[in-house]
Homo-oligomer: A and B are copies of this chain.
Amino acid sequence: MFVPASDCPVREVDRGITRQILAHDPHLMMVRVSFATGAVGYVHTHPHRQITYVASGRFDVSIGDARRVMVAGDSFYAMPDMPHGVTALEDSVLIDIFSPTREDFLAQAAGGPR
């Protein structure tokens, strides 16, 4: 299945943060998340396993009790239910992968509560 970016709506999900749901099926979801400088993806948990790729820019990333600055080309992994969060140190983009798919994101995209 081809998923051109032009077919994927960009949704503002928090201050300075937009989300674009890319290719996905019930088992796997790819999401592009853009951050303005200083935008904060607050520490949170979810039962989905997650791998994230830093597509551009620079983030302060926390996973559990650890913190590290990650730059374009770096990646990180968060096990299910592992607390994780990011702060953008400049205008930056992440590619998030979730397994299984984030049904909550699909519900939000369909117009439900955030």
Complex contacts, A71 vs chain B, CB 8 Å: 5
Q: What is the bound-complex CA distance between A5 and B76, given in angstroms?
A: 10
Chain A 10-38 interface mask (CB, 8 Å, partner B; 1/0): 00000000000011110111101000000
A4 to chain B, nearest CB (A): 5
Of B5, B76, B95, B97, the residue contacting A2 (CB under 8 A) is B76
> A110 contacts the other chain (Cβ, under 8 Å)?
no
Interface size counted on chain A using CB atoms at 8 A: 34
Report yes or no: B30 in contact with A97, Cβ–Cβ below 8 A: yes
A51 at the interface (CB under 8 A from B): yes
Q: Chain B's nearest CB lies how many Å from the CB of A2?
A: 5
17 sample A-B contacts, Cβ–Cβ < 8 Å, listed by A number: A2-B66, A2-B68, A3-B74, A5-B71, A5-B73, A22-B53, A23-B52, A23-B53, A23-B77, A28-B49, A28-B51, A28-B77, A30-B51, A30-B53, A51-B97, A55-B55, A95-B95
